[in-house]
Structure 1
């Protein structure tokens, strides 16, 4: 499979936007990478990159070819995984991108449970906002995504959805902590700490505030839910996220309260893949596990409201 190395060189240059940077990452010489790119261009009889003073950029033909390369690489990973599965070794790599809300508890718990069954499987996890996660899926960089309010992608195939409510995270001694649910107008009088605007839960909150013509006193904004949670523990602020990523921890001074649905409607957390992808065995089995976990959570939610 020597030719695959040349395709790997091409993919590396496309990602780096520079032959020199790609060569450094591949630990080979720039001349070797450039020679392989030129060989590909000669074989295809068309330029794949536009050479610029500060790097390279894919041509229209290059865009078509990179899609083919990444699809072929993904298919090869799937075949390798199936071969290992036939051996009974259950090896492989699960590549998944998830929303931040899943990174602190839900996904680590699921990964640990999966590896208890298949200890030779490893994971490549990306914690990204919903837009970047879907782009990673479209670029064949991951096999699965699990994100809140995913943007439209033509060949996206949802495998499972779970409705989520927006919740407020606050100190146990906060004036609003004794209420079973919270109205957004009640939070307007207090300092709040929010996730960055690219996060799906923040966008849901912003939409709700706009409808209610409310404005918050935002004292901190961050791209880390872990930072926001620790800030709640140390300062008298309220933060917001979706329910799956927020748990009360009264021992550490944190409580979680649901936002009244009159202010912020539910929205979907979605597990999915591309329609044209046959998943590697390891990823397909992990998707099955996640689906069962989400089904169980859906059942618990239905019983709680019955």
Structure 2
């Protein structure tokens, strides 16, 4: 559709903040893309982009138009998905934005299982911080967002909420690995790897420590659980992770032990979509599948935490 193509051109410029970078990604000349933008602006009767020395920025009119463009492109995708469904063809692209805790184990397994039954589906998955997950869903960059303890945003609809406990992750050889539960004071006697504030486990720790006379001084602070997991696997260090992120601990040579401090807060892992948006058929199917899988995982995690 030529109209849809024009809308995607404008959307790409808004996302890259540069006509030249957008043209490079689209494989067209920047002068040709600039002419199309100018034609579109004349049709709209307003400038959509403020030209700056190092790129472009949306004007107030541009902000209004880009919201309409993204909604329109989403509606077109939904219509195409429905037509495919009528024809018995399960095609489409599912776009997921998720926190890193799901990257090891849960999300790859969920995607692999789904694709085994729907081989014509494609996934585009982005791992990002919790605030970015919500933003990606609201700005139509993702159909589904999975995030820990998100801030309240009226446009982000909570489809499923799963309470998450905190676990201490350590090497199988660690002196505390044989325990059924540990306390933070026990862990503080060993080197610690703490997630930075973009990751969920750090939020739980800080809420609890704010009311206690206990200091946790990390030997490593990182925004990557993969890095922290490798560090603890190779040493006597301990890191902390919410339940969903511990599913592949055993295969990585680690043990996840529930943290049993009284008063330790629990927060929720949330699966969300854009409010009032009708998802494409493939995305709606995966949303149902991932919610069912998460509910089952949560029951297993809660049983482990209470063991």
> What TM-score comes out, normalization by structure 2 length?
0.94
What is the aligned partner in structure 2 of residue 292 from structure 1? 292
Once residues 192 and 59 of structure 1 are traced to their aligned partners in structure 2, the CA distance between those partners, rounded to angstroms, is 47
Contact kept? 2:207, 2:265, Cα under 8 Å: no
1:60 aligns with 2:60: yes
What is the aligned partner in structure 2 of residue 124 from structure 1? 124
Contact kept? 2:184, 2:261, Cα under 8 Å: no
Contact kept? 2:106, 2:247, Cα under 8 Å: no
Deviation at 1:296, TM superposition (A): 2.4
1:110 aligns with 2:100: no
Once residues 101 and 143 of structure 2 are traced to their aligned partners in structure 1, the CA distance between those partners, rounded to angstroms, is 19
What is the aligned partner in structure 1 of residue 50 from structure 2? 50
Q: Name stretches of at least 5 consecutive residues in structure 1 with no aligned partner.
A: none
What is the aligned partner in structure 2 of residue 95 from structure 1? 95
Deviation at 1:247, TM superposition (A): 3.8
Contact kept? 2:130, 2:150, Cα under 8 Å: yes
Structure 2 counterpart SS, 1:75: helix
Once residues 190 and 64 of structure 1 are traced to their aligned partners in structure 2, the CA distance between those partners, rounded to angstroms, is 53
The number of residue pairs the alignment matches comes to 306
Q: Measured at CA, do residues 151 and 250 of structure 1 come closer, stay the same or move farther in structure 2, by a change above 3 Å?
A: closer
Structure 1 counterpart SS, 2:210: helix
> What TM-score comes out, normalization by structure 1 length?
0.94
Q: Measured at CA, do residues 300 and 177 of structure 1 come closer, stay the same or move farther in structure 2, by a change above 3 Å?
A: closer
Once residues 208 and 160 of structure 1 are traced to their aligned partners in structure 2, the CA distance between those partners, rounded to angstroms, is 25
What is the aligned partner in structure 2 of residue 191 from structure 1? 191
Contact kept? 1:130, 1:148, Cα under 8 Å: yes
1:146 aligns with 2:179: no
Once residues 140 and 152 of structure 2 are traced to their aligned partners in structure 1, the CA distance between those partners, rounded to angstroms, is 16
Q: Name stretches of at least 5 consecutive residues in structure 2 with no aligned partner.
A: none
Contact kept? 1:189, 1:217, Cα under 8 Å: no
Aligned-residue CA RMSD in angstroms? 1.8
Q: Measured at CA, do residues 225 and 301 of structure 1 come closer, stay the same or move farther in structure 2, by a change above 3 Å?
A: closer
Deviation at 1:300, TM superposition (A): 4.2
Once residues 72 and 79 of structure 1 are traced to their aligned partners in structure 2, the CA distance between those partners, rounded to angstroms, is 10
Deviation string 1:7-56 (CA, Å, 9 cap, x unpaired) is 11111111111111111111111111111111111011111111111111
What is the aligned partner in structure 1 of residue 20 from structure 2? 20
What is the aligned partner in structure 2 of residue 206 from structure 1? 206
Structure 2 counterpart SS, 1:152: coil
Moved over 2 A (4+): 172-179, 247-253, 294-306
Deviation string 1:210-252 (CA, Å, 9 cap, x unpaired) is 2213222211122221111111111211011101111475675
What is the aligned partner in structure 2 of residue 231 from structure 1? 231
